[in-house]
Amino acid sequence: ALITLRQLLDHAAEYSYGVPAFNINNMEQGLAIMKAAEALDAPVILQASRGARSYAGDIMLRHMVQALAEMHPDIPVCLHQDHGNNEATCLSAIRHGFTSVMMDGSLEADMKTPASYDYNVEITAKVAEAAHAVGASVEGELGVLGSLETGEAAKEDGSGAEGKLAQDQLLTDPDQAADFVSRTKCDALAIACGTSHGAYKFSRKPDGDILSMTTIEAIHQKLPDTHLVMHGSSSVPQELQDLINAHGGDMPQTYGVPVDEIERGIRHGVRKVNIDTDCRMAMTGQFRKLATDRPSEFDPRKFLIPAMEEMERLVRDRYERFGTAGQA
Ligand code: G3H
Ligand code: 13P
Ligand code: ZN
């Protein structure tokens, strides 16, 4: 059945676990996630970006997620809008069956320019009021995702600010977070701690200078009852980089968020952990491998089956390590 983010994260907080939120764009990603969740009895957050909504279409996404839930009647599923850029995006998601929306007011509606605090409070509060009136949940974001190494947002996908960001924009301020949650009434708060979207988060294995888990700890101290959200939480596994590069890929060496750092976050109030890049890499590694191992193959299913299996393995690992397994 479809449930809200609030219901799901309240349970996660009560039992001290985290829930990975996986981005989906197509049926195969949905099948892989649900298979893993069913095997491990884990609750599910499926999130669709604006890009996913235009790729698959709202009607397709809605029916696809309803079908996945119907195939797995004992697994709670939340359908969440990832990085909503304005009220219209969030409200149209709710109209299309999403049970939760992210109003990302950390950036202006263009998603490129850092927003003022007042703008962020105002638009997030407005969306929360409208969403709550129809029983949907809202995630807000305070602080701009981006690299503490370079002061820049990761560039390889569309989302993220342009130009240099100051250190105080890149790390969420705990006092401001407390004010933000009380004024907006958001159900979950995405924070900035040095992670960014995409594969190129860190040029070296991150330490406390470039991945600030202490920021999360300080926010959790101020806001012990607020569900925190970590974006940009792919770990960009070395094996997947190596597999892709061994089969014609050309990904420069990069480092993601170590899973044990996410586990540390979960001990300090992180309840939702956003993962897209790792799933993309899991699938792409298998596409590339099959293409080189069997150059005569042209049936897409022969590519998609191992890709789904690899993604399912990754999803299972995160359900186990975040403590989500057994909580459905
Ligand atoms: O927020 C970033 C997610 O990885 C979604 O990416 O906008 O390319 O679908 P996308
Ligand atoms: P990754 O690019 O690290 O997977 O982050 C995804 C994300 O934060 C989606 O909102
Ligand atoms: Zn994100």
ipTM at complex level: 0.98
pLDDT score at 160 = 75
- What band does 322 get if pLDDT is binned at 50, 70 and 90? very high
Instruction: Tell me which DSSP letter residue 197 carries.
Output: S
Q: CB under 8 Å, gap of 24 or more: what pairs does 90-95 form?
A: 90/127, 90/130, 90/131, 90/138, 91/127, 91/130, 92/58, 93/48, 93/53, 93/58, 94/131, 94/134, 94/136
Mean pLDDT score of the chain: 97
Question: What average pLDDT does this structure show over 122-139?
Answer: 98
Question: What average pLDDT does this structure show over 96-121?
Answer: 96
Per-residue model confidence as pLDDT tens digits over 252-271: 999 999 999 999 999 999 99
CA 23–ligand 3 middle distance (angstroms): 10
- Asked if the model's pLDDT at residue 65 lies above 80, the reply is yes
Separation CA 275–CA 22 (nearest Å):
5
Torsion over CA: 270, 276, 277, 283 (sign): positive
- Asked if the model's pLDDT at residue 161 lies above 90, the reply is no
Asked if residue 52 has its Cβ within 6 Å of ligand 1, the reply is yes
Atom of ligand 1 nearest to the CA of 157: 8
Question: What average pLDDT does this structure show over 33-57?
Answer: 98
pLDDT score at 260 = 98
Question: What average pLDDT does this structure show over 280-288?
Answer: 98
pLDDT score at 157 = 59
pLDDT score at 34 = 98
Q: CATH for 5-321?
A: 3.20.20.70
Q: Which residues are part of the catalytic machinery?
A: 82
Asked if residue 184 has its Cβ within 6 Å of ligand 2, the reply is no
Percent of the chain with pLDDT strictly greater than 90: 94
Report, in angstroms and rounded to the nearest whole number, the Rg of the chain calculated over CA atoms. Answer: 19
Question: What average pLDDT does this structure show over 194-202?
Answer: 97
- Asked if the model's pLDDT at residue 36 lies above 70, the reply is yes
Separation CA 228–CA 272 (nearest Å):
7
Q: What residues are neighbours of ligand 3 (ion), with CB under 5 Å?
A: 231, 274
Atom of ligand 2 nearest to the CA of 277: 4
- Asked if the model's pLDDT at residue 155 lies above 70, the reply is no
CA 270–ligand 2 middle distance (angstroms): 15
pLDDT score at 274 = 98
- Asked if the model's pLDDT at residue 158 lies above 60, the reply is no
Question: What average pLDDT does this structure show over 73-80?
Answer: 98
Per-residue model confidence as pLDDT tens digits over 225-238: 999 999 999 999 99
- What band does 207 get if pLDDT is binned at 50, 70 and 90? very high
Q: According to the annotation, is 141 in a ligand binding site? A: yes
CA 302–ligand 3 middle distance (angstroms): 31
Give me 296's structure tokens: 């005569």
pLDDT score at 162 = 84
